Amino acid sequence: MMYLLLPAALVLERVAFGFFGGWELFRPGLVLLTVVYLSLAAKKPAPVVGASWLAGFLADLSGWGLLGANALGLTSVSLLVFALRGSVYRRSFLVRLFVLVGAGFLNEGLLWLVAVLSRTPGPTDGWAVMS
């Protein structure tokens, strides 16, 4: 039941916040937030990794990108946060916030790395990566 949060977050992020056209910078990354939450709360990594891969794959199908770019980013984030969960889960709010911000940077960095290596425009189609 808990893993239904990822498809719900994806639908909410793509549909509900999609009405605010041109405000992509201010839209929350609900799928990333949900992946981090599930990775911190999980007891085993396999269900979280599978669910985050599926959510990333569905995000690839519903939006920008090369097939598998979001899946790679969210799966990497879930594995890293799951590996750090023992030292993060019971810590202060600032430590968990730092992990969340780091997960966001990792996810976006992997998306841009895939864009650069594949010579395609980035997630916002804002600039040509390789001229």
Q: pLDDT (tens digit, 9 = 90+) per residue, 68-108?
A: 888 999 999 999 999 988 887 777 888 888 888 899 899 88
95 vs 15, more confident: 95
pLDDT in tens, 51-65: 999 888 888 887 766
Percent share of the chain, pLDDT over 70: 76
Residue 16 pLDDT level (bands cut at 50, 70, 90): low
- 3-state SS of 84-131? HHHHHCCCCHHHHHHHHHHHHHHHHHHHHHHHHHHCCCCCCCCCCCCC
